[in-house]
Amino acid sequence: MSFELSVNLEYMFHEAGDRLEDRMAAAAAAGFQKVEIFTTANRDVPSLKAALAQTGCELFATVTDPRIQLVMADQHDRFREMFAQAAAEAAELGACRIVVPSGSAVPYMKRPVQLGIVAKAIESIVPMAEEHGLTIMLEPVNTRVDHPGVLFGMTEDAVNVINLIGSARVRLLYDLYHSITENEDPHVVLPSVAHLVEHIQIADAPGRGEPGSGQIDWPAMLKLIESTGYDGVLGLECSPTGTDTVQALAHFRALTA
């Protein structure tokens, strides 16, 4: 079961310091060629671009502002402005993928109505994604521990929006940790959505530590992922339980070598 790995610099290589550029250098020295970050807003994009060139790393994905509440139609103009900047910066950094979070749900609207409003907002940015050669990824995140109140709490929420939009530019980011924490069964969910999956992220559960720190059977989970036909990158989005990121990831790297 051989998979290429990417590392999220927001969570890992903190021992290299606070700067993403320094964490990137540490990741590259450890042999990782793909990295992920959150939003580029209020960050030194030219400095990040220089670090990517110096380390030879590829920026696999970025994230747009997660605080925008897409179920509120009066925020859609701001959302489009924000996305235009985020897409331009992602393209400048060589990224081909950008995550668009749903923001929070509201208690006074039926879920299908909320998902329909969000679908219209995301559909409106597809031309911008096409202009920059980006794939928009929708990521369900758990509401039980990490993101209470978010609209995309279950995999089916994001899938429903993807199907409403019907564009090859809008695909699914399946995060195994979030799915399991939300009490989904990956053996049921992942095969049913595999045709929509652009990227898979992982962390152990409970705790969101590195693979091997929790209760997930990783050989079995890797076999499941492989059985769906997924041959893309696995994104490590976990908080190491020790102070040495390379040591924390050694076991999982051996499993996927």
pLDDT in tens, 147-205: 999 999 999 999 999 999 999 999 999 999 999 999 999 999 999 999 999 999 999 99
Residue 169: its pLDDT value, please?
98
Query: What tokens does 167 get?
Result: 């564009």
Residue 67: its pLDDT value, please?
85
Residue 52: its pLDDT value, please?
98
Is residue 211 situated within a structural domain? Answer: yes
CATH number, position 45? 3.20.20.150
- The residues near 79 (Cβ < 8 Å, ≥ 6 apart) are 68, 70, 121, 125
- The Cα 71–Cα 152 span in angstroms is 11
Query: What tokens does 52 get?
Result: 């990517």
- The residue segments making up the domain with residue 36 are 5-245
Residue 148 C-beta-side C-alpha neighbours within 13 Å: 2
- Among left, alpha and beta (phi > 0; psi -120 to 50; other), residue 94 is left
- The Cα 251–Cα 174 span in angstroms is 22
- Count of domains for the chain: 1
Beta-bridge partner residues of 35: 7, 59
Beta-bridge partner residues of 7: 35, 236
Low-confidence ranges of the chain (pLDDT < 70): none
Is residue 251 situated within a structural domain? Answer: no
Is residue 71 situated within a structural domain? Answer: yes
Residue 161: its pLDDT value, please?
98
